[in-house]
Amino acid sequence: MKHTGLITIFAFTALALMAAGCGKEMVSIGKGDPKGEIKECLDLSARNKHEEAIQCFEMFKARYPQTAEGQEAELLIGDSYFARKEYLVAAEAYGAFLRLYPNHPKADYAHYKIGVCYFKESPKAIDRDQEYLGTAIDHLRSVLRRYPNSEYREPAARTLQAALTRIAKRQYYIGRFYFRTGEYLAAIPRFEEVAENYAQSGLGDKSLYQVVRANLALKHMDAAREAYSQLASRYPKSPYAKKAEHKMLSAAK
């Protein structure tokens, strides 16, 4: 009876171990040609088995650190985390690749993906902290400045513009908050920053209009005239230029 009980326990243990491993594919790395073995990792990734793919790439780069495939495995780990929407971990993996191989032919791709990772990790709501956008912008600008022939220039430029627009919207939002609470001196620099540094966001004319209003509220007529002059010259067809003109005329009466 005791033997029967032990057999039953071993049987259940074996079944439990089989169940735990169910769905996970283990690959053998380090016994063949690197070009052939990395295909096993890529196959896992192609079938959306990203956890197993990450383990495979980690094993691969440890076994073949000096090969071209071993170097690229570092990059592919980032791609696997990115596919899992683990953007901060992915950014760290791409960053590790750049630290190890700063002059690699795919360094532009790593910079681009880091920028996208941090952009995606930033909340869309402009009233929330945007701490990652600065890092996103730095890496996206690196693609544009350092790699004139990169195939990632166009998508990097699009993501960069989206990131800059989000910062502009946040600055405008903060400026409007200060304006509504009567903190005009605090509001003006926010609006001026948007007008000067983020004109392509589409908020340049609105921001200058708010600068005019805030200075009029403070009775700073010279500053109001200067802001109006900039608004009228930069955006002559903007409805905000016309609105600012009416404000200036009313204040002059």
Encode burial over 197-236: b for 16+ CB neighbours within 10 A, e otherwise: ebbebebbbbbbbbbbbbbbeeebeebbbebbebbbeebe
Among 45, 70, 86, give the residue marking a domain's end. Answer: 86
**pLDDT at position 47 over 80:** yes
Lowest mean pLDDT among 28-42, 93-107, 117-131: 28-42
Q: CA nearest 143: which of 80, 201, 98, 200?
A: 98
Range of the domain at 238: 182-253
Predicted pLDDT at 8: 40
End residue of a domain, out of 59, 86, 113: 86
Cβ(232)–Cβ(245) below 8 Å:
yes
In a domain, 231, yes or no: yes
Confidence of residue 130 (pLDDT cuts 50, 70, 90): confident
How wide is the angle at C-alpha 226 spanned by C-alphas 221 and 228, nearest 5°? 90
pTM over 0.85: no
**73 assigned to some structural domain:** yes
The answer to whether residue 245 is domain-embedded is yes
Confirm whether 223 is domain-assigned: yes
Stretch among 62-76, 87-101, 163-177, 202-216 having the lowest mean pLDDT = 62-76
> How confident is the model at residue 24, as a pLDDT?
55
Kindly state whether residue 228 falls inside one of the protein's structural domains: yes
Contacts of 175 (CB under 8 A, 6+ apart): 187, 188, 190, 191, 194, 207, 210
The residue from 58, 86, 114 where one domain ends is 86
* Total of domains in the chain: 2
Residue 250 covered by a domain:
yes
Any domain includes 93: no
> Is 67 contained in some domain?
yes
The answer to whether residue 49 scores a pLDDT higher than 90 is yes
* Cα end-to-end distance, the chain, whole Å: 107
